[in-house]
Structure 1
Amino acid sequence: MLFLTAQDVKTGVPLADKTTVIQALADWLEQDGHVAAGYGAGMLAREAQTATYLGQGIAIPHGTQESRHLIKKTGIKAMHLPNGVPWGDGEKVYLVLGIAAGSDEHLGLLKQLAGTLSRDGLAEQVKAAREPQEVLQLLQDDAGSTTEWMLNAGQVAVKVSVSALEQLVEQAVSRLLLSPDEEKKLQQHEAVHIGQGWWLKQTPADDKPRAVLLTTASSAIEHRQQPVSGLLVLAVKGVGHKTLLTQMTEWLVAGRGAELAGQDSAEALIAALERGPLSAATNERAAVVRNEYGLHARPGAALVQSAKQFEAEIKIRNLDGDGRWVSAKSLMKVIGLGAKAGHQLVFRAEGQDAEEALNALEEAVSGGLGEELATLAAVAEADATDILHEPDDIAANTRVRGVSASPGIAIGPVFVDAPVEFEYPQQAEDARAEQRKLNTAIEQASTELAATLSRINAPQARDMMAMHRELLADPSLTQGVSCRIKQGMSAAAAWWSEIDSVAIRQAASPDALLAERAADIRDIGRRVMARLCDSNPVVTPDHPYLWVAQDIGPSQLVNLDPGRVLGLVTVGGGASSHSAILARSLGIPLLVAAGGAVMTLQSGTEAILNGDDGTLWVAPEVSVLEQARVCQQGERDLADLAWAHRHEPAITRDGYRVEVAANLGNTARAAEVVEAGAEGVGLLRTEFVFMARRSAPDLDAQLAAYRSVFDALDGRPLVVRTLDVGGDKSLPYWPEPKEGNPFLGVRGIRLCMQKPALLETQLRALLMAAGDRPLRIMFPMVADWSEWRWARSLFDKIQAEVQATNVQLGIMVEVPSVALNAGVFAQEVDFFSIGTNDLTQYTLAMDRGSAELAALSDGLNPAVLRLIKMTVDAAHAEGKWVGVCGELGSDPVALPLLVGLGVDELSVTLRRVPLVKAQVREWSLSSCRQLAEQALKASDAPTVRQLVGAAR
C-alpha cells in the first residue's frame, strides 16, 4: 500500500499540458530516487494504452509492465493543478498522482481512492485545494473506507434462543467487546427495522471497526409491532461497513430477507452474504465456460493474467457452483470455483477500468482462454477406486490394473522413484530471516520455471509451466505461509504445511478434475522445498526405464529425457491431470491410479506397461514378454507405415477412393494439414474469427484469416462452415435473449438471418480470399427450404460482384428434416456435409452434453445411419457429393460403415488423418457395403459395433 506525506505533494503547479505533467512527475520520482531515467516514457506509454483518469478531477498515471524494471523503490508524488489540465474525452484534471510501484502496491491506493471518489462534491473540493495538507485530507478522510469487512464464524450466530430484541442486542454487545464509551453510545441509538424482520443498530468505534450478525430461533418475536428474525450490530469507523450493508440490502431488495435469516450455520450465513441473492447488477457480466475440462489451472491462469491487466477490483463466482464471490486475480481462488464445461460464470468489477475489464474477461472466457472451444459435453471420468488393484505385494507374472491415461505399449525395467524426504527444523526464532529465505527460494523456483519456459516449444507444456509460475506468485498461497512464519515456524515448515493444506483441500474436491490439480500444487511445493532444504536432485538410470512414482508433476515431465523414459506409472492421479495431458502430447504411455503396491517393486524389475488397456504386467513370463514385444512392434510399424504413406490416396482394396480431409478449429494449424497428408480442409470452423474480440471482425480482418488458410493449403480445397453460433456458443457483442432450449433456438443460419450484414461480410471475405482457389461454403443448421433459399440468394448477390471462379455451395446435414427432404435440397446444393454430432443429438432427442445419456447417444444408432444413407442416395442421384465432418468420421468402427453407405469424403482430426487413410486401405468396398446393409437392419448401436468388431 502506498501512502502520501506532505513532502510528496506540490500545489499551485502552473503546467497546462498532460504530457508535460506526466514527464514532470517522472522527473520528480527520479530525483527522489524512486525510478531510473526513462520511466517517464513508460508512463506516457501507459497513458497511450489506457487513460488513467479516475473521476472527480483526479488522474493516476503510472508505468507499463515493460517499464517496471526502472523502478528502484516504490513511491508516489502528487501535483495539484489549480487551472486544470485536459486529460482526454472532455475531462479536466486538477490533481495528478504519479506512481512508481514494482508490484501491485498501487492497487491498494486505487481501492482507497474508489471510496474517496464516491464522496459527493469531491470534484469541487479538489479544485479548491491550495495547500498540501488540504490535498492529503481530501485523500485520507476515507482511509480504510473501502476495507472489506470479512465476517468470521465468531462474529455470527444463527438461531439464537431469545424472546425479545433487547436480549439479542445484549448477546451482540458481548461479542463486540465494546469499550464503555462505545457501549454507552450504542445504547443511545435505537435499533432500526431495515425490512423483512432484520434490524440494525450501530455506534462509532473508538479504534477498529467491528460487526456482529445474529439470527433468532423463533419466528414469533416482535419489536414495535415488527417481526425480529435477525440483527446486525456495527461499531463503525469510516465507511467500510457499507460493503456489509450493501450485501444485506441486496437480499432485502430481492425480497429474500427471510431466506437469509433462515441459514442453518454461521458459515452458511457468511457464504450467503458474500454470494448475494444472485440478482442481476449493472456492473456484472456472465460467460459460459467453453473449455472441455472446465476452468482448470491452465485456462484459470490465463483468466487471472487477463484480470491482472486491469486496475479494477474484479470478482468472479460460479452460478452452477456454490455461488460465492472470489478474487479473479487469485489462481487458487479461481480454480477452486469448480467451474466445469457449461457452467456459468459471473464477473463483477469496480474501478476505473471496470467496463474494459468486464468486456475483456467475458471475451476471454467465451474464446476458450487459450484452449480450443469445445462443445459443452460432460466428460465422464472413470472412478479409479472401482478398478484399483492394490495387493500387499506384487508377485512375479502379475498384472496390476490402473487407469489408462496415455496410450501405447512400453517394455523395460522399472525405476521406483521414492518420495524425497525433506529435512528441516519446525521452528525458527528470526521470522524476518525466514521470510527472506522463503522469498529467495520462491524467486529461484520462478527463475527456473522461466528458464524452462524459454527452451520448450510445445504449447501445452509452455501453458502449464506458465501456470506454475502464476501459482508461485499467488498471494493467497504466500500470505498463508507468511502468517505461519510469523507464528514461529521455519520457512520450510511453513511452506510445506501450507502446500500440504492447500493440496489436501484441492484433492478433496468433489470434482475429480479439480482434485487432480492437487498434483500441480505439490509440484511447485517440492520445487521450492528443494531450494529451502538444499536437497540433491534424484539420480535417474542412464538406460531406458519405466518411471514408477507416487505422483509425477508436470514440471518433471517437461524436463524428462524422452529417449530414456519409456513409460510412466503413478500410484494415484487421473486421466485428466496435467501430467496425463503432457504424457499424451509427448507420446509416452501412462498408467495412473495403479495403487501403492507399485512402490514396493524393486528397481530393475522387467515390466510391460500397456497404456491401451490400463495394466502393468510385472515380471512377466518369457512368452508373455515376447508376445508384448511383437504387439508393440506391430503398433509402431502400423503407425510408421501410415505416416510414410500419408500422402498417398485412401483407396480400398478393390479400387474405391475416399477423400480424407482435416477438421480445423482455427488457422494456427493450417500448415500441418498438408504435412499430415490431408487432401484439404473438410471443415473450417470460422467461429474463431468472431469469438475472441469485442466487436464483429471487419472485412480486412476476415480476409487475412481466410487467406492464410488458402495459402497453407497450396491449392487443396477448403470447406468452410459459415458462422455457427447460438446454442452453446454466443457472441459477446451480440447477446441473445435467454432461451429455454437454446439448441432448438436461434443458432447457425437462423442467427445470420436476423443479422444479414454479418453473413454478407463473411461471404464477401471468403470469396475475395479464394480468388481462383477451390472454396466450398456450407451453411450450418439449415432445417427448412426457405433458409437455404435465403442464404443462396445472399451468396448469389455477392458472387455476382466478386466472381470467385472455383466455388461450391452446400449445407450441413445436422437436422433430420434435411436428411428426410434431401432429394429436394440435392437439386440445388452442390454438396452435403453431415455433422454427425448434431444429427445424432436431434435424431435421438438426447443432449450430447448429457453425461447420463452418453452411452446411448451413439452416432452408430441405426436410425442415424439410415438418415446418412438417405442423404447419400439423394445426393448421388443428382451427381452431388457427400462428406462427413462430425466425430463419427474419426471412429475406427464407423469408418467401414460410412464407406459402405457411400460417403465420398471423411474430415477428421489432424492426428487421425494418416491412420484413417491407412484404415481405408485395409477394407474392400464390397465388404463395407455388406456391413452397412447389416447395420441398417440392426436394432441398436451396440449391435452395430459388434458387427464391425466381428468383421475386423
Structure 2
Amino acid sequence: MLALSINDIKVGVELADKNAVIHALAHWLEEDGHVASGYQAGMMAREAKAATYLGQGIAIPHGTQACRHLIQNTGIKVLHLPQGVEWGDGEKAYLVLGIAARSDEHLDLLKQLAKTLSQDNLQKRVMAITEPEQVLALLQDPAEPKEVGLPLVHIATELDAETLLQLTDHALELVSCSTQEQAQLRQAAPIHIGQGWWLSQTNACHGPSQAALVTANVHSPLLMQTPAVRGVLVLFVKGVGHKALLDQLLAWLAVKQGAALAALHSATALLDALEAGPAAYAQQRHSTEQIAVVRNTHGIHARPGAILVQIAKQFEAEVQVRNLEGDGQWMSAKSLMQMISLGAKRGHQLLFSASGADSEAAVSALVNGVKEGLGEALGEDLVEDVLAPEQATHEIQSQDEAQTKPITLEPNTELTGVAAAAGVAIGPVFVDVAVQFDYPQQGEDTVTEKAALAAAIEQACHDLSKAQAHSHDPQASDIIAMHQELLADPALSFGVNCRISQGQSAPAAWWSEINLAATRQANNKDALLAERAADIRDVGRRVMAILCDSPASIPPEHPYIWVAQEIGPSQLVNLDPQQVLGIVTVSGGAASHSAILAAALGIPALAGVNGAVMTIKNATHAILDGNRGCLTIAPDASIRQQAQAQQRQAKQAAARAWEERDLAAITQDKHRIDVAANLGGIKDASQVLASGGDGVGLLRTEFVFMSRRSAPDLASQTALYRPLFDALKGRPLLARTLDVGGDKPLPYWSSPKEDNPFLGVRGIRLCQQHPALLKTQIRALLMAANNRPVRIMFPMITDIAEWRWAKDRVNEIQAELNATQVELGIMIEVPAAALCAPVFAQEVDFFSIGTNDLTQYTMAVDRGNGELAYLGDGLHPSVLQLIKMTVEAAHQQGKWVGVCGELAADAQAVPILLGLGVDELSVSLARLPLVKSQIRQLSFAHCQWLAQQALVADDAAGVRRLMSQAEKGIAPDKEPG
C-alpha cells in the first residue's frame, strides 16, 4: 500500500479557485520528483471531461491516461482548504488529493477513502481539520480487532421499487429485528457509496450483527435517477463482524464494477461474487461459454423463450446470455421477461455463459435447445448453427471488413450518398482497403499477452497524444481526448483481460470486445449515438495495428480523394487539407465524428455511398460534390471543366463574402433581411459580431443542462448566459428554452421508455412536468440579460394552451424582475403549429421555424435515416406551404418570422425563403458571411416569383431543378411581371 506521510499534507491553504489548486498540486508533485513537466495539463484535461469531486467536501484531481508517461513514480499530495473552493455543480472542495499513479499502488488508499465517504457528517469533520494528523486519520485504515465472524446475511435480487426508501424497506423485511431498531435505521439517511450502491447502518443492534443486501430490478426507474439506485446494503452493527462484508462490496466498487455486481440475477451468484472478488468471479463466470445461432423463423419470442427458461431452470448454475447482434447486455436465462427483451431474431448469435457446478451441462443443454428450435418448426437451415467463441470473433470481424463484390463502373457514373460536408473536390481516388489483421486465437501465456496488450494501449495513447499536440482544431482535440478515454475504459480492459485469462491471445481478446462494444453502439436507437460506433472501431484498429504489426496502407504522395469503407476520426486529425481533397465512405452519416471533422477542416465529404465505390481502380479521376451528395466516376472533360469552374467561383465568393461580412443583407431591390447565428454554447459568442452577425437567432440552451449530475441552479445558469449578452453588445439574443426529453434524455431525470421518443415527452411537454425547471431558466435568462434585448422561444408547441401556460410563467418573473426588453415566441416545428399560425400570431411576438423537425414531422421520416434522405428535404413543396402559411399569418398581425433550421444556410433555399417573406435567417457562424453575400446579389421580386414556382412543384427534386436552372441563368418559362 502507498504510504502517506505528514510531509505529503498541507493544511490551512488559501487558494482562489480550482485551477489554482490543481496548479499547486501539480507543481508539488513535480517538485518532489513524482511527475515530469506537463502533468498539470493532463490534470486540467481530466477535469474538463469528468468531475473529480467525490462528495462530502473531497476531490481527487488526477491526470488523463494520455499523460501517464509523465509519471516518474506514484505519489499523492493533499491540500486542506479551510475556506473551500468551488469544484463545479455548486459543490465546494475542502480536502483535495492530487494523484499521480503509475500502477495500482494507490488503490488501497482510494478504497479506504470509499469507506471514509460512507461516514456520517464527514464534511463537517473535513471542514474542521487544522492538523495534518487529522487528515491521516481520515485517509489511513486504522488497526482493527480481528473479525469475530460475518453477520447474518440476507440477500434478494431484482426487487421492484420506485424509491430508495421502498428498496430499503424490502431489505428490512428480510432481517429479524425489533420495530424500534427498524425505526432507528430509517431515521439515518442512506449514504451513496458509489456506482448506484447505498449503505444504511445503525449501531442499535441488540442481537448478533445482521445484514440485508438487495438489488433493484434491471428495468427499474431507480437506475435513471442521479445518483442511480442499483442496490442497498442494510447493516445492523454489533462489533466488527460486518466489516468483511462491507470490504467485499467496496472491492467491487474500487474497480468500478458496482453495476456488474448489481446485475447478477440470484442471491447465490451475488454472494459468490462478493466472496470471490471481481477478478476471480469474472474469470469463473466466463469459464463456460458457447455461442448458438437462432434458427426460429420469428426469433426468440414468448413461446420459445419460455422453453429456453425452463431448460435453464433445470440447472443450479447461474446462466446468462447476451445477444451479440443486439445491445450486448447480459440477461438472465432464467427470466422470461429478460429473454424476450433480448430482441433475438433469426440469424442472431446468442452467447451463453454459466458459472457453477453444472455450468457445462447447462450451457450445452441451452445451445442444443436453440439448435433444435425450442419447440418450433424451423425454416431453412442457417450455416453454422453453433460457433465457438473464437469462431464468433472471426465471424464478427469478417462482417465488419467485408467488401462489396466488384461491379462495372462506366465513365460519368454517378454514385449518390449523404452530403456530409459541403464543397467540391476534383482529383484521383485513393481506395483505402481496410487492413486484414492476422493473429493467433490462442495466446502464449497470460502474463505475456496482458503485457503485450498493455504496451499496445500505451503506444496508442502516446500516438494520440502526439496527434493532439500537433492539432490546432478544438473539435479534433476533443475527439482525440474521447478516444484516449475509450482506451482507458476499465469495462473494456476488464472484458479483454477475462478473455486473455481463458487463453485467448491479446489481439483476439481485444478485437472480440471491440466488436461487441461497437455492435452495441451501432444498434442505439439514436442515429447520432449509433454513428459513434465508428469511434470504437477506430480505437480498436489503432491498437490492433500495433499488436499485429500491421501498418495502415500508404496513401499516394499527390493530392487525392480518400475512399474507404469507414474512416476513423483519429485518422482525420492530422491530415493535410491540401493533400486530401475529399472524403468518401461507405458507412457513417452526416452526424459522425468524421463528417464533423471534415466539415471543420473544410474538406468535402460524402457518406453512405454504395459499396461498389470500393471497387474503383486507384488513380481513377472523380468529382466529389458535397453540396449535392454525389460522386462522379471518370468524368469527361466537359463535366470536369464545369466542376473546376464551380470550385473557382466558390473560392472567390467565400473570399469576397468575408471581406464584406459587415455589410447589411439587402437585396438588389432594397429588401433587407437579418442574418443571425445559431449557437450551441458560449465558446463562439465572441465570433458572432466578428463574422457579421445581426445577433443570435438560436441559442440551444441544452449545453447548460447536459453532462451534469443534477439540474443547474439559478446562479450557475445566470453565470453561463451573461457572457453571451456581453459579447453581443446590445444585439438581440434568441434563446430556445430547454429542448430535451424523449430522443434527448437528461441523465438526472427518469422518464418512461417511449416507443417513439420524437413523438413523446420533449420540449415544452417536459417543462410542463417540471415547471420549476422552466421558471429557473427564465429567471436566469432575464437576470443575465439585465434589460438587454432577449427573445425567448418555446420548442415543441402544438397547442395554444401550451403557449399560454409558458407565457404565464414568463409574465410572473418578468413583472418580478421589471424586465422590459423581452420578446416571446414559439418554434414552428410541428405541422399543427403551422396550421394554427393565425391563432398563435395574435398572441406571440414572433415565430422561428425549425425546418429540420418541421420536415421530419411533415414527411414522416426520421432525419437520421440515410435510406430516406431523399424524403427529408426541407424544399419539399409541402414544407414550403407550411412556411408560407406561417409567414402570412404573422405578417397579418405585424409579427416577424425567422428560420433557424439547416434550410436557412442552404444556398438553393435562401432565395425561396426570402420570396416566401421570411424576415430573418439564422445560420452557423461559418455560413454567416456567405448567406449575407448571397442575399446582396438577389432580386427580391425574382425570389418571390421563384417561391411561387416552388410551391407548385411536384416534389423537392423539382424545386432543386428549378433552382439549378436559376443558378445557371437558364431563362424560366415565365419571368416575374
Q: Is TM > 0.5 for Structure 1 vs Structure 2?
A: yes
Aligned-partner Cα distance in 2 for 1:945–1:697: 44
1:143 and 2:275 matched: yes
Deviates more, 1:504-513 or 1:868-877: 504-513
Three-state SS of the structure 2 residue aligned to 1:916 is helix
1:559 and 2:672 matched: no
Superposed, which structure 2 residues align to 1:82-481 within 5 Å?
88=122, 118=212, 123-127=236-240, 143-144=275-276, 147=281, 150=285, 230=311, 232=313, 271=331, 273=333, 277=337, 390-391=406-407, 401=415, 403=417, 406-412=421-427, 432-433=447-448, 435-473=450-488
1:68 and 2:133 matched: no
Q: Which amino acid aligns with 1:451?
A: K
User: Residues 770, 318 of structure 1: CA spacing in aligned structure 2 closer, same or farther, 3 A cutoff?
Assistant: farther
Contact 2:74 2:101 in 1 (8 A): no
1:472 to partner: Cα distance: 3.6
Give the match for residue 671 of structure 1.
686
Q: Which amino acid aligns with 2:598?
A: A
Three-state SS of the structure 2 residue aligned to 1:657 is coil
Q: Which amino acid aligns with 2:600?
A: S
User: Residues 914, 111 of structure 1: CA spacing in aligned structure 2 closer, same or farther, 3 A cutoff?
Assistant: same
Three-state SS of the structure 2 residue aligned to 1:562 is coil
User: Residues 42, 621 of structure 1: CA spacing in aligned structure 2 closer, same or farther, 3 A cutoff?
Assistant: farther
1:925 to partner: Cα distance: 1.4
Q: Which amino acid aligns with 1:445?
A: A
Give the match for residue 808 of structure 1.
823
Q: Which amino acid aligns with 2:929?
A: P
Cα deviation 1:395-443 (Å, max 9, x = unaligned): 9x67584756544333445667787798999998676455434433332
2:791 to 769, 773, 776: 776
Give the match for residue 701 of structure 1.
716
1:589 to 573, 588, 604: 604
Give the match for residue 948 of structure 2.
933
Q: Which amino acid aligns with 2:901?
A: G
Three-state SS of the structure 2 residue aligned to 1:648 is coil
Give the match for residue 716 of structure 1.
731
Q: Which amino acid aligns with 2:240?
A: K
Q: Which amino acid aligns with 1:629?
A: Q
Three-state SS of the structure 1 residue aligned to 2:791 is strand
Three-state SS of the structure 1 residue aligned to 2:101 is helix
Aligned-partner Cα distance in 2 for 1:922–1:384: 49
Structure exhibiting the larger radius of gyration computed from Cα positions: 1
Contact 1:75 1:99 in 2 (8 A): no
Q: Which amino acid aligns with 2:668?
A: R
Three-state SS of the structure 2 residue aligned to 1:906 is strand
1:664 to partner: Cα distance: 2.4
Give the match for residue 653 of structure 2.
638
Cα deviation 1:546-574 (Å, max 9, x = unaligned): 45667654333223233333334668777
Q: Which amino acid aligns with 1:916?
A: V
1:717 to partner: Cα distance: 1.0
User: Residues 907, 68 of structure 1: CA spacing in aligned structure 2 closer, same or farther, 3 A cutoff?
Assistant: same
Aligned-partner Cα distance in 2 for 1:870–1:400: 37
Aligned-partner Cα distance in 2 for 1:386–1:578: 22
Contact 1:815 1:838 in 2 (8 A): yes
Cα deviation 1:34-64 (Å, max 9, x = unaligned): 9967466699999x999xxxxxxxxxxx996
Q: Which amino acid aligns with 1:585?
A: A
User: Residues 64, 576 of structure 1: CA spacing in aligned structure 2 closer, same or farther, 3 A cutoff?
Assistant: same
1:650 and 2:650 matched: no
Superposed, which structure 2 residues align to 1:598-637 within 5 Å?
601=617, 608-612=623-627, 625-637=640-652
Cα deviation 1:823-875 (Å, max 9, x = unaligned): 56545543333344555566677787888987556655555544443443343
Contact 2:797 2:830 in 1 (8 A): yes
1:923 to 938, 941, 954: 938
Aligned-partner Cα distance in 2 for 1:326–1:154: 6
1:449 to partner: Cα distance: 1.7
Aligned-partner Cα distance in 1 for 2:889–2:636: 57
Aligned-partner Cα distance in 1 for 2:121–2:454: 40
Q: Which runs of no fewer than 5 residues in structure 1 stay unpaired?
A: 5-18, 23-33, 51-61, 101-105, 160-213, 218-227, 236-240, 249-259, 281-316, 328-382
Give the match for residue 912 of structure 2.
897
Q: How many residues align?
A: 720
TM-score, normalised via structure 1 length:
0.59
Three-state SS of the structure 2 residue aligned to 1:143 is helix
Q: Which amino acid aligns with 1:778?
A: M
Cα deviation 1:446-479 (Å, max 9, x = unaligned): 2222332344353442343234334444567667
Aligned-partner Cα distance in 2 for 1:767–1:705: 12
Deviates more, 1:744-753 or 1:650-659: 744-753
Contact 2:953 2:959 in 1 (8 A): yes
User: Residues 613, 68 of structure 1: CA spacing in aligned structure 2 closer, same or farther, 3 A cutoff?
Assistant: same
Cα deviation 1:876-909 (Å, max 9, x = unaligned): 3443322223344334443323222222112233
Q: Which amino acid aligns with 2:655?
A: D
User: Residues 763, 319 of structure 1: CA spacing in aligned structure 2 closer, same or farther, 3 A cutoff?
Assistant: farther
Aligned-partner Cα distance in 1 for 2:898–2:623: 41
Contact 2:827 2:847 in 1 (8 A): yes
Give the match for residue 196 of structure 1.
none
Contact 1:272 1:324 in 2 (8 A): no
Cα deviation 1:749-784 (Å, max 9, x = unaligned): 565566554444333332222234222233445555
Q: Which amino acid aligns with 2:928?
A: V
Give the match for residue 798 of structure 1.
813
Q: Which amino acid aligns with 2:337?
A: P
1:125 to partner: Cα distance: 5.0
Give the match for residue 689 of structure 1.
704
User: Residues 124, 828 of structure 1: CA spacing in aligned structure 2 closer, same or farther, 3 A cutoff?
Assistant: closer
Deviates more, 1:910-919 or 1:733-742: 733-742
Q: Which amino acid aligns with 1:763?
A: I
1:738 to partner: Cα distance: 7.3
Contact 1:763 1:795 in 2 (8 A): yes
Aligned-partner Cα distance in 2 for 1:561–1:641: 25
Aligned-partner Cα distance in 2 for 1:824–1:548: 52
Superposed, which structure 2 residues align to 1:826-841 within 5 Å?
826-837=841-852
Aligned-partner Cα distance in 2 for 1:902–1:319: 49
Three-state SS of the structure 2 residue aligned to 1:670 is coil
1:662 to 668, 677, 701: 677
Aligned-partner Cα distance in 1 for 2:339–2:75: 50
